[in-house]
Structure 1
Amino acid sequence: MRKVFTGILISVGVATLVGIIYLNYLFSKIKFTNTFSPEDVGVQNTQNSKIYGVTSEIDKRKISNSQQLMVAVFGVDKRIGYEIPRSDTIMIVALDQKNKTIKIVSVMRDILVEIPNYGKEKLNSAYALGGPKLAITVLNKILGLSITKYVSIDFKTFEKIVDSIGGVDVEIKDYEVEQFNISTRELNRVNGGVPAETIQEPGVYRLNGRQALAYARIRYAGNGDFERTSRQRYLLSKIFEKVKTLPIDKKMYLIEIIFENIETNIRPSELLSLALINITNYKLETFRIPVSGFFEETTEFIERENTNLWVLKIDIEKNKQELVKFLKTR
C-alpha cells in the first residue's frame, strides 16, 4: 500500500513539474511590457469610481466590477517598416465571468481625436506616435474608460490562428469578390510562402488564415470602413464558435501560437487564468463606436500630415452613453 501511495505521489509530482516547465516555456514566448497605472493612461477620479473599465461620470450608470476585465486590443501591421506601426484595428474586449459573456467593441480608426502634444489626428495615429500607452490614454479620454491593460497582435498572427483551427466558413458576397482577390494577391506578394487561392464567384468558402486576413482587410467594397469593421466582428464570431468546440490539445496549441506572437502588459498569472477559462458556455456580443446617428463624415486638416484627411467626427457624450448601455452587466 505504501508503495502504491508513493507511486501516486511521484506521478503527481512529475506531472506538476512537467506542467510548471510547460507554463514557463509558454510565458517565455510572450513579450511582456510594463504595467500602466490609471494615472499613466489618463484615468481620472479613480477613487470615486465604482466601475471597472468605465469611469463614474458616464451617465452615472454602473458597470459591475465583480468579475469583469476590460482590455484594449490593437491589431498592427508591422510589414510597413515603421518602428511603431499604426493600429489598423482597435478593439475593446470586456470579459464578464459572472454572466459568461465576452463583449467586443470595434472602435473605428478614422475617428478624429485630440492627441496630447500632437493636436488633431486620426485615432489610429496614437499608437504610432506613442505606442499602446498613448493609444489607451486617448481611448480613455474619448470614451470615458479606465483601461490599463492591452494586447497588441500582428496581422500575420491572425493567419496562424485561423490555420490552427482548420479555417473558418465565411460567406463572401458578390460585391466583395474583387476586393477579396486584390487583398489576397497583396498578402501573397508581401508575406510570401504558399500563396492563398483567389475565388471566382460569391458563396460560402472555408477560408484559410491568409484568406481570412484578406477578407478582414477589405475596405473598398460595400460601406467602406464601416463594413470592414463589421467583417472583422463577423470573423471573430466565427472563430469564437469554432474554438469552443476544439479538443483540449488543439486549444493548448492555439494558446501557444497566441502567446508567442503577442505583446501585452497583462501579468503572467492573470494571463494564465484567462487562458484556462472554459468558454464553452460563453456568449459573444459585438458593438461599434461610433454608433449610427452619432457621428458625421467630413474632412479635417491634419497639421502633422499637412493635408486634409477623411475623418469621423463623433458625438462623444452620445457614444459614451450607448457604450455604457452595451457594457453594463446584469
Structure 2
Amino acid sequence: MKKFIKIVSMLLLLSLLSVGVGGYIYLKSLNPLDVSLMNKNSENKNSEAIQKINILVLGVDETSPTDPRRSDTMILLSYNPKTNKAYILSIPRDTMIKLDKYGTQKINAAYPIGGPQLAMDMVSQLIGEPVDYYVKIGYEGFKQLVDDLGGVEMNVPMDMNYDDNAGNLHIHLKKGVQLLDGEKALQLVRFRHGYAEQDLERVKVQREFLLAMFQKAKDPSTLLKIHRILKTINQYVETNIPPTTMLKYADYLLKLDKDNIKTATVPGTPQYIDGVAYYITDPQEVLQFMDNLNDERDDTAIAANKKDIKIEVLNGGGIPGAATKTADLLKQQGYDVVKIGNVIGTTYNTTQIINRTDDKKIVEDLKKILKNAIVVEDTNGDSNVDITIILGKNI
C-alpha cells in the first residue's frame, strides 16, 4: 500500500463532509442513535472548544501472500481548527522502535502485533503527541473514489512506463495535463522508478495530486455524486472516528485552503543494521521538528518568501550525510536548496547561517529549524546564493 492513497481518502472523506448538503445526506444515513447524539451535541456546538485532531492513516495490504498484515503505510493527518491549518506527516515503515516482549522492530510491525491501537500508541511515542483516531483503506477504495468524483485533472510531469509482472504493477501514462480516472490516478501516485530522486519526486507529485483531488472534492458539483461517494467510503474505509466527530469538524474543514496544508516526513536516516534496513530517528530532533510543524505563528509572509530564497548547505563538521539530511529538511519546509557540498580544509564546531538578505523573518525561521546555529551577516553579498548554511559539529 503506497503512502499517498490512504491520506487522500481520509482528506476526501472529511472534505466531503464539510459540504453542507453532503453532511446532511450523510447524517440521514446514520443510525437513530448517531442522529440523536448529533442533535444533542449540536445544541452546544458553538460553545464547545474544537481541539486539534490527529488521525493515523494505515495502509494494510491484506492481499499480500507473503506479509498480509503489516501496515505498509503509516501517515498522520493533523488538523488544527484554531489556525485552520493541516499537515500530512509520513511515518516511514522501517522506523525503528522498541516493543515490549518483541524487542527491536520496525514500526509497521505494530499493527499485526497489537492492531490499530498499538500502531497509534507507537506513533504517539514517536512524535510526542496523542493520536486520536485511525483510518484504513486500500487500492480499490482509492480508485473507486477517484472514479466517483468523475476523475481528477492533473499535469503528469513525464512519460511514465514501468512493468512489474511479479507485483502485477503496470504503469503507462503520457506526459501532460489530462483527466485521470481511478486506474490512471493509481498508476501516477505509485510511479517512482523513472525519477532522478525517486521518493522525493514521487512525494511531490503525490502532493500535487492530493491537492487537486481535495479541490475537486470541495467543488459544488460533488454534491450530485454524494450518494455514490459515501457508499464507496462505507464499503472501503475502516475507521474508529465517530460520525458525530466528523460532522463537528465539517464547518471548519470547509474553510481549509490547500495552501494551509503542509506535507513532511518524520526526520531520520536510513541505515542497515545486521543486514536489516531501518529508519533511525533521534527523539530530540523529532520533537524539535514537531514543534516547528505545529508552530501557530502567522507565517504567510515567510511562506511567500521561502521560494525566492536560494540556499546552499555545506557540511563543515565532518558528520557523514549531514548536508543532505539538512537540505531535505529545509526542502520539506518550503525552501529552495540549490547546492549541497562540503567545506574543504576547515572544520566548524558551530553551525553558521551566513545571511545576505534583508529578510529577518526568514533568518529567524532558519534559526528555529537549526536550533544551535549562529547568524553571520555577509555585507559584501558576493555570492550567487542568498544564504549559506555551514553545518558544524553541534548540529
TM-score category of the 2 structures, normalised to the smaller one: 0.5 to 0.7
Q: How far did residue 262 of structure 1 move? A: 1.6
- Given candidates 294, 308, 312, the residue that maps to 1:327 is 294
Structure with bigger RCO (C-alpha 8 Å, 6+ apart): 1
Question: For residue 99 of structure 1, what is the amino acid of its counterpart?
Answer: T
Instruction: Tell whether 2:246 aligns with 1:265.
Output: no
2:285 and 2:26 mapped to 1: Cα distance? 49
Task: Give the equivalent residue in structure 1 for 2:190.
Answer: 217
Q: How far did residue 282 of structure 1 move? A: 0.9
1:19 and 1:220 mapped to 2: Cα distance? 40
Task: Give the equivalent residue in structure 1 for 2:14.
Answer: none
| Structure-2 change in CA distance of 1:286 and 1:182 (3 Å) | farther
1:110 and 1:94 mapped to 2: Cα distance? 21
Task: Give the equivalent residue in structure 2 for 1:290.
Answer: 266
Question: For residue 214 of structure 1, what is the amino acid of its counterpart?
Answer: Q
How do 1:132-211 residues align onto structure 2 when only pairs under 5 Å count? 132-174=116-158, 177-179=160-162, 182=164, 186=168, 198-199=172-173, 201-211=174-184
- Given candidates 307, 315, 325, the residue that maps to 2:282 is 315
Instruction: Tell whether 2:215 aligns with 1:241.
Output: yes
Matched-pair contact (CA < 8 Å) for 2:143–2:186: yes
- TM-score, normalized by length of structure 2? 0.56
Q: How far did residue 212 of structure 1 move? A: 1.4
1:327 and 1:252 mapped to 2: Cα distance? 35
Matched-pair contact (CA < 8 Å) for 1:108–1:229: no
2:192 and 2:72 mapped to 1: Cα distance? 12
Question: For residue 316 of structure 1, what is the amino acid of its counterpart?
Answer: P
Question: For residue 160 of structure 2, what is the amino acid of its counterpart?
Answer: V
Which stretches of structure 1, 4 residues or longer, exceed 6 Å deviation after superposition? none
| Structure-2 change in CA distance of 1:140 and 1:22 (3 Å) | closer
Question: For residue 73 of structure 1, what is the amino acid of its counterpart?
Answer: V
Question: For residue 178 of structure 2, what is the amino acid of its counterpart?
Answer: Y
Q: How far did residue 289 of structure 1 move? A: 2.2
2:199 and 2:264 mapped to 1: Cα distance? 12
Q: How far did residue 81 of structure 1 move? A: 4.5
Deviations 1:23-82 (A, max 9, x none): 239x8xxxxxxxxxxxxxxxxxxxxxxxxxxxxxxxxxxxxx853211111122222157
Q: How far did residue 182 of structure 1 move? A: 4.9
Q: What is the SS of the residue equivalent to 1:110?
A: coil
1:118 and 1:230 mapped to 2: Cα distance? 35
Moved more, 135-144 or 219-228: 219-228
Unaligned segments of structure 1, at least 5 residues:
1-17, 28-64, 189-196, 302-307
Q: How far did residue 129 of structure 1 move? A: 2.7
Deviations 1:182-219 (A, max 9, x none): 59x9257xxxxxxxx833x4223322112212222234
Task: Give the equivalent residue in structure 2 for 1:77.
Answer: 61
Instruction: Tell whether 2:73 aligns with 1:89.
Output: yes
> Larger C-alpha radius of gyration, 1 or 2?
2
2:295 and 2:227 mapped to 1: Cα distance? 31
1:136 and 1:209 mapped to 2: Cα distance? 29
Q: How far did residue 21 of structure 1 move? A: 5.3
- Given candidates 90, 101, 116, the residue that maps to 1:106 is 90
Q: How far did residue 108 of structure 1 move? A: 2.0
Number of matched pairs: 254
Q: How far did residue 157 of structure 1 move? A: 0.6
- TM-score, normalized by length of structure 1? 0.66
- Given candidates 29, 32, 41, the residue that maps to 1:22 is 29
Matched-pair contact (CA < 8 Å) for 2:79–2:85: yes
Matched-pair contact (CA < 8 Å) for 1:162–1:208: yes
Unaligned segments of structure 2, at least 5 residues:
1-24, 35-48, 298-395
2:220 and 2:55 mapped to 1: Cα distance? 24
| Structure-2 change in CA distance of 1:229 and 1:85 (3 Å) | farther
Matched-pair contact (CA < 8 Å) for 1:74–1:152: yes
Instruction: Tell whether 2:229 aligns with 1:254.
Output: yes
Q: What is the SS of the residue equivalent to 2:172?
A: coil
Matched-pair contact (CA < 8 Å) for 1:106–1:229: no
Quick one: percent identity of the two aligned structures?
26
Matched-pair contact (CA < 8 Å) for 1:95–1:102: yes
Q: How far did residue 172 of structure 1 move? A: 2.9
1:279 and 1:113 mapped to 2: Cα distance? 33
